[in-house]
Each structure stands twice: as C-alpha cells, then as structure tokens.
Amino acid sequence: MLKLVVFDCDGVMFSSREANRHYYNDLLAAFSCPPMSEAELNYVHIHNVHSSIAHVFRNHRQIAPESIEAVRLRLDYAPYLRFMTMEPDLLRFLALIRPSYRTAISTNRTDTMELILDTFALRPWFDMVVTALNAPRPKPAPDGLFMILDHFRLRPQEAIYIGDSAVDQEHCAGAGVDLIAFRNRALAARYHVDDFMSIAELPPLRAKG
C-alpha cells in the first residue's frame, strides 16, 4: 500500500526553466562568456549546480573553478524567484493527500531549496527534503530516495516519485520506486500525468481513498 509521495522540484512543483536560464547566463556574463545554448539550458535544468557549472564552463577552461565558485556564492538567488511559477494545483493536491500520505522532496537543487521553501510557504507541506547538498550523491544516483525511505522505514513499493526527466527515471530505477512522469511521455514510468490533480485519480492513491 502506498504510504509516501516524493516530489521533484524543477519541472514538477515549479516551472523554473527561465529562472535557470537567467541564473546561469548571469554567472557566465560575470566572466564575459556568451549565454547558454538551448542544449545547455536543457542540461542545467535537470542537473545539480556543480555539474551544471562544469558543463556550461567546459569550453572556458581558462577560468579557474575557484573563481566561478566565488562568484556563485556571492550571487543572490532571490531575484531569480520571480521567474519561477508554482504549479497551480500543487497546493490543492498537497492538501488532499497530506492526511493520508507522508510527503518528501528529492531534488538536485542545493542551497537554493531552503529559500524556495520559505518564499513559497511550502515548508509545512513536506515531512522531509533531500537536496544535492545532503545526499551522498546527487540524482540520478538513488541515494536521496534511499535516505527518505530509511527515514520513514518504508519499502520502495510503499513510495512513489513524481519526476519529469531522464535523471528522475534513473533515480527511481536505482531505488526500485515507481515513477509518475510529469508532462514527459517519453519516460519509462508506471504512470504519466499532465497535472497534479490527475495523480489523485491514479490506482495507488484511489486504493486508499
């Protein structure tokens, strides 16, 4: 029986593609580098910040990684929140499932996740949040999901994950957790949905209702 619903952040809870575009382009601009290509934007949208920086600066090896990290740490993420849009039915879905299920987040975000939780008043809605900062290895490694399962003392079949990328697909496969693919029909997933309230109608959740 399903007991735990785990969420990805970017591309699931939030449309954050434009926030990522502005953030990484500003970081590149700080070193007079050209903006990202669409392929690079696709990459940073699903990977953690350190992998993303290494990727977008891979052709600018004259710039020391220490210099990039110093600028990143000084770059306030708060202004980029205006480019993030929360899914309109997220809170309604959370209010519906919270009496019956534990909820958690497993994301490749790092130090920006805390700001997002507080800015959008989401902290009370989640029992546990795992990021690329506190997981031993970031997604697609299954570590974050294993941490969450261990915390709640649950088996993989008692959890389900809502994700939107191939990284999420691999994340779930490594942990043996079923995937709900959010607006990505190309993923190999147990279920495919286009909005949160459709998830409430899926067999694992209806079984408890």
Q: Tell me: the pLDDT tens digits for 159-179?
A: 999 999 999 999 999 999 999
pLDDT band for position 46 (cuts 50, 70, 90):
confident
Q: Tell me: the pLDDT tens digits for 50-85?
A: 999 999 999 999 999 999 999 999 999 999 999 999
The predicted structure's pLDDT at residue 208: 66
| Percentage above 70 pLDDT, the chain | 99
The mean of the pLDDT values for the chain is 95
The predicted structure's pLDDT at residue 45: 87
Q: Report pTM.
A: 0.89
Reply yes or no on whether the pLDDT at 107 is more than 80: yes
What is the distance between the alpha carbons of residues 170 and 172, in angstroms, rounded to a whole number?
Answer: 5
The helix or strand, by DSSP H or E, that contains position 6, with its residue range, turns out to be: strand 4-7
Report helix, strand and coil shares of the chain as percent, to nearest 5: 45, 15, 40
pLDDT band for position 194 (cuts 50, 70, 90):
very high
β-strands 14-15, 85-86 pairing = antiparallel
The predicted structure's pLDDT at residue 206: 83
What is the distance between the alpha carbons of residues 95 and 175, in angstroms, rounded to a whole number?
Answer: 27
What is the distance between the alpha carbons of residues 8 and 163, in angstroms, rounded to a whole number?
Answer: 5
What is the distance between the alpha carbons of residues 179 and 40, in angstroms, rounded to a whole number?
Answer: 25
